[in-house]
Structure 1
Amino acid sequence: MARKKVMLGWIAHDATRRATFKKWKRSLLKKVSELATLCSIDACAVVYGPEEEAPEVWPSPAETTRVAARFRAMPESDQSRKKTDQEGFLRQRAAKLREQLSRQDRGNRELEASLLSRPRSSCGWRR
């Protein structure tokens, strides 16, 4: 059964917002757990709640510290290899779309040239 699309936006009612936060947090932590298990990778999650004094950490504070230390020990170039900001993402997307448009234009020109170079066939009727 398909779910209805969730409209993202500020939830005005406090109780509803807290309940939604708890559900999404539980779902997020479950997905991180599944990702770590299925892909056999080191993963961790730190979630700061609006009304919680300490963040919730998965799988454990010690393991999260180990994974974060391993990440920080990597060279800066490896840490930011796949990071991008909004501007960089939009530049990459625009470049891909320009390349796609270029390929489509080239294909259209080739098709048009092949259609124009074909001899006309008689259609069987005359005026």
Structure 2
Amino acid sequence: MVRGKTQLKRIENTTSRQATFSKRRKGLLKKASELSVLCDADVALIIFSPRGKLNQYASSSMEETIGRYKRHVKNTQDSTSPFVDQNAQPLKHEAQRMSKKIEQLETSKRKLLGEDLGKCSIRGLRKIERQLDRSISIIRARKTSLYRKLIEQLKEKERILVAENAMLREKLRLDQHQISNEDNAAVSIVETALSIGLPDQILNYTLFLQQ
């Protein structure tokens, strides 16, 4: 029978959790020892139990291995810092430039809205006035263009409606003409039936009287 895979989650039962910890701790310490012997690696392993008890393994000296680890981390950080600073410097300048540009745009926006005009000179006010005039011209041109498009659309709808109305009138005229022809044909049939003559009995009685 195939053994199911153990789901990795916290074991809720305290007894089972302690038994699993003890079993896997021994296996982990054994693997660390084997790794050190087979691969000539400097291995240091620190484990704290759920109750806070320390369990450790070191192939040489735990203090020396930890010191070696700290020196390695420090050297790695020192070697990457110039590279990080070198790449971050252009980004910093770009961020400052964008910040100044945003500030200038915000100031210009407030002035166009009629705010913060107390410090503006005559020349600055004239410049703002010219900007507003250009903006108004652009807005009016855009509005006129939209009106023209709307008028063209309405004219096109009008042409379509006029054509549809003409088609309906023509269809109505043809239907009325067809109905008129059918009525005339019916009247003709009735008149023909009435003009055929007298019934046979009356005709025979008339001939008898003539004799």
TM-score tier after normalising by the smaller chain length:
0.5 to 0.7
Give the alignment's Cα RMSD to 1 decimal.
Answer: 2.7
Q: Structure 1 residues 3 and 38, CA, compared in 2 at 3 Å: closer, same or farther?
A: farther
- Give 1:51's aligned residue: 51
The count of aligned residue pairs is 77
Q: Structure 1 residues 3 and 43, CA, compared in 2 at 3 Å: closer, same or farther?
A: farther
The answer to whether structure 1 residue 18 and structure 2 residue 52 are counterparts is no
In 1, distance between residues paired with 2:77 and 2:34?
A: 28
> Runs of 5+ in structure 2 lacking a partner?
81-211
Note the C-alpha offset of 1:52: 3.3
Greater relative contact order (Cα 8 A, min sep 6): structure 1 or 2? 1
Per the normalisation by structure 2, the TM-score is: 0.33
In 2, distance between residues paired with 1:3 and 1:26?
A: 22
Identical aligned pairs, as a percentage? 30
- Give 2:71's aligned residue: 73
The structure where helix makes up a greater share of residues is 2
Deviations 1:19-68 (A, max 9, x none): 00111111111111111111101001000111134x111037x8111111
- Runs of 4+ in structure 1 off by over 6 angstroms are none
In 2, distance between residues paired with 1:52 and 1:30?
A: 21
Rg comparison, structure with higher value: 2
